[in-house]
Structure formats: structure tokens, C-alpha cells
Amino acid sequence: MHNIEPYYNWLKYYDSSFDERSPFFGKEYNYDLLQDNIYGYYIHPAWDSFESETLYLKVLFINYEKNFVILEFIGEWNDAINNDIMLLKRNFIEVLMAEGINKFILIGENILNFHGSDDSYYEEWFEEAEEGNGWIAAVSFPEFVQDEMRRFRVDQYINMGGTLQIDEWRTLHPNRLFELVSALIQRRLGP
């Protein structure tokens, strides 16, 4: 797992360690030291922690003018034991929302598993995003992860599946990915 890096070709557009409004502002990365792990398997040092033991993320891009963020995840999303959604919501999402972010693109192709529990944090996140005409979109999550999320009714709050399986997301400029996802969400919501 230490060879799976977050997508780095957008670093020329955005680097969270240089963004004063980012939770990871000033973070220094030591690419020679593997220290974070998921179930004993070290992960690449470019991933960022929000205090979960099994799930890490990377802020790939933020546009404060258009109020959106693109996040990439790796690991096991475990709400049943680690309450990952609570940690994500309280330790990270709320910081971004305080900066005006209300549209969230979650890249999930490196999510290995999902263990659900209570959906109240998803509902809270959804309602707060929706207040500002925002939304949450899960892009390229594995089908079995989506199935588990649906089983726990997470799909009521996070748009996923179908046209949001955007395999070529890496070939797009981050603003173009946002425009594409936004158009797909608007189409789903209807007139």
C-alpha cells in the first residue's frame, strides 16, 4: 500500500501545505519515512490524517470562489468501530465549511471497504452543505463499497454511482472535473 500515492499532477494548481486556509497548512512531508499505516500496512507519506486509524485523505484541489473541494481517500471507511464519518466531519469538513466550502467531490477508488453505522453525521453534513446550495458527490467508488453505503442509506446524502463513475477524472483539469460533476448533480436534482 505504500506505493499508492494520492494523485499528484494537480500540485501545480494547488498544494494544501501552502494554503493558509487549509487544515494542512504548513505540513512538511518526509517522503523518506513511512510512519502512517492501515492495519499494519504502511501507506505513502503524502496522505493526510484527520485522526482516523483506517482512513486517510488528500486535498487535491480547493476553489474558494466556486466553493468546492476535491478529496481523494485511501483505506477502510469504518463508521462501525472508528466512527470515521464523525472524525471526518468534525476534524476536517467543518474546517472547510467555515471557509465557505459547500460542494464536495470525494474520490474513492482507493477505499478498500466500508462498514456503516448511524447515518446522522452524513445527514448533518448534507443539510449544512445544502443550505448553501451545495452537495456531496462520491466519484469512482468501488461498486461493492457503494452497495454497502446504500445498505446503510448513505446514498440519501451522498450522490454516487451511475454517471459519477468517472474513470478519466485524472485527465481533466480540477475546475473541469467540478463543472462535470456539478452538471451531473444538477441533472439528478432536476429543474
pLDDT at residue number 119: 87
First to last CA, the chain: 43
Longest Cα separation, the chain: 51
Domain 48-189 belongs in CATH node 3.30.750.24: yes
pLDDT computed for residue 153 by the predictor: 94
Whether pTM exceeds 0.75? yes
Distances (CA, A) of 113 to 7, 75, 98, 185: 20, 7, 30, 25
Which pLDDT value is given to residue 46? 95
Distance CA 141, CA 182 (A): 17
Which residue ranges of the chain lie beneath pLDDT 70? 188-191
Give the containing element (helix H, strand E) for 123.
Answer: helix 120-131
Per domain, the residue ranges of the chain are: 48-189
What integer pLDDT is reported at residue 24 of this predicted model?
95
Report the pLDDT value the prediction gives residue 54, as an integer from 0 to 100. Answer: 94
Q: What is residue 96's predicted lDDT score, i.e. its pLDDT? A: 97
The pLDDT assigned to 190 comes to 62
